[in-house]
Chain A
Amino acid sequence: MSGTSFWSATRLVAQREINAQIRGKSFWISFGVFVVALFAASILPGVFGGDDAHTVATVGPEAAQAVAATDLQARPVESLDEANALVRDGEVEAAVVADRSSPTGLRVVANSQVPLEVTAALVETPEVELLDPDAVNDGVVYLVSFAFALVFFMFAMSGMGIAQSVVTEKQTRIVEILAATVPVRALLTGKIAAFSLLTFGQVGVLALLTPIALRAGDQGVVLSLIAPGLGWFVPFFILGYVLLAAMWSVAGALVSRMEDLGSSSSLVTMLVILPYFGVTFFQNNDLVLTVLSYVPFSAAVAMPVRMFRGEPALWEPFLSLGLLAAALVACVLVASRLYTGSLLQTGARVRLGRAWAGAETP
């Protein structure tokens, strides 16, 4: 009988974990939610905003001519009374009537509120020339930053599954058999590997589905906008996720019961939530965003957003990625010691100092 090496033990642990996860309902439910959300985000705006062709009643040839020059749907009627009736019934958004006393020669009749879409359509906009145009417009920047932040946030929070899996092993006490059989570090590595692979797999499938979803929603143009940021999002996402995965596993190792997990994981939860809000709220604040793009916990979102806007110099993402990688190595080393020191301590929540000192299992 040949012994199990560290890596073959790690592989066995990871395989078991992946099997256990993909057989569970919650994995497929959360993945299903992601897929549904992706398609909803691509298709629904088109469905609800689609019949934007506002219909207006027109009285007289001048009005009909003016409306014809816009995106508005014209519905010519004979008299002002008839137009008013249609407006009151809500059949049309507004009525456009010729009016010599108005400077534009037109008057708009609406029921209770000023019909902004109609008036805007009728206004003639002067030609605009931008001297230094932004590479991407603000609306798209917002959308993309938000999408990156949300995807990272959702998957980072799902790292809670790692903590739960660790607690399950502690709570059922199988951890004692496992620790007597394979090195504790192999347990930690296997778990992080399993959850990382599952997450990257899900993100990969979502990435493949994105063009399909966008095309289904007739928003193919968004794809060509996201693509440049996406390239940077991948390496940052991978390192950022593994960093948090290591922290989640320690949060799990510190407690012996599911009920206590909330308190031990509050720090990790904060580290997931704060960058998310930071990037969404401060995306127009260059200073804050620049700082966030170097802090390892928010770099995963902030740096791709900055890259997407085309701001940073080429060396910046590499420096940030380097910092993230260094933080990851440090975090995994600390996590491995804390995990080892607390895994076999049962009962009350293990204090960090004790976990650090208690790392004594060979």
Chain B
Amino acid sequence: MSRSFDATKVLDDVSFDVAPGRITGFVGANGSGKTTTMRIILGVLAAHGGTVRWRDAPVTQPVRQRFGYMPEERGLYPKMKVAEQVTYLGRLHGLDPATAKRNTTALLERLELTARADDPVEKLSLGNQQRVQICAALVHDPELLILDEPFSGLDPLAIDTVLGVLRERAAGGVPVLFSSHQLELVERLCDDLVIISGGAIAATGDREALRARHGTPRFELVVDGDAGWVRDQPGVKVVELDGARVVFDVESGPDAQPVLREAVNRGTVHTFGKVVPSLAEIFREVI
């Protein structure tokens, strides 16, 4: 899909897939086009080029009604009661009254909100309002989940609860697409990654495959005494040196065994291992 605002092109041939049962992390800098992409998927914005397809057919209003969406700009009726509101949204999504009520009760229980079911939303703390927002996105058992920054504003315990809920949904076969700027969270949660930069896709694919593809082989070594000698080893580029600890890239091939042998010859080795590039590093590299 492509999209412009006035003369500025904000999305340029953005294309990616989400797969059933997998959690896809959608990562990009501020203003890179994440929210615009999600809004187009949900039909809140129109694309200026391209189409959104679901199960090999273009997405229409009745199809979209079966999607679950949590917008970045959170919004609920402040004066409406929690349970009533979630039930109402379920009915808007096409649930019959009994199912809407049953799903609401189950979700409030799962997100530990049962005690607040009859309170107006405005009486809840921001974190709890956020949980209600998640209930609102899930109440109709959506076929596809799209969550824009679902973790911002949540405390660590709430994050775990929400993570659990999302994993359950994915395990049930629902594709989950979520954006986040908290890269460690994305790293913990997602199976696939879509990295967007300046309105264009920078990288996409399985998280492990991306890791393998990006970042040179990197090792960490901790010894007794000073590790400065590693600098003089052939084919080694030191990335970080801090007394006894050194992080280095091996330029020719993944073999760091000569360095380890040298270290053992020189004395005690406390740590030796491969450093897996973090998402943040991949992210910095591809954008």
Contact = CB atoms under 8 A, between A and B. Distances in A.
B266 to A, nearest CB: 62
Interface string A149-182: 0000000000000000000110011111111111
Given A344-B45, A361-B43, A1 B140 contact: yes
A360 interface: yes
B21 interface: no
Contact of A174 (B44, B62, B76): B76
Contacts of A177: 69, 71, 75, 89, 136
Contact of B62 (A3, A178, A179, A180): A3
Contact of A178 (B46, B73, B79, B92): B92
B229 interface: no
B93 A361 contact: no
B228 interface: no
A13 B66 CA distance: 18
A20 to B, nearest CB: 7
B62 A12 contact: no
Interface residues of A, number: 29
Nearest to A2: B94
A175 B69 CA distance: 12
Contacts of A169: 75, 77
B66 A172 contact: no
Nearest to A344: B44
Interface residues of B, number: 33
A278 interface: no
Contact of A181 (B77, B80, B93, B141): B93
B79 A20 contact: yes
A202 B78 CA distance: 26
A362 B73 CA distance: 21
29 contacts: A1-B66, A1-B93, A1-B141, A2-B94, A3-B66, A4-B65, A4-B92, A4-B93, A4-B94, A16-B80, A16-B88, A20-B80, A173-B75, A174-B75, A174-B76, A175-B75, A176-B39, A176-B73, A176-B75, A177-B69, A177-B75, A179-B44, A180-B67, A180-B71, A181-B64, A181-B89, A181-B92, A344-B45, A360-B45
Interface of B: 39, 42-46, 60-62, 64-67, 69, 71, 73-80, 88-89, 91-95, 136, 140-141
8 A-B pairs with least C-beta separation = A173-B75, A174-B75, A173-B73, A180-B42, A3-B62, A360-B46, A176-B71, A4-B94
Given A173-B73, A174-B76, A181-B69, 14 more contacts: A1-B141, A12-B91, A12-B92, A169-B75, A175-B75, A177-B136, A179-B43, A179-B44, A180-B42, A181-B64, A182-B65, A346-B73, A361-B43, A361-B45
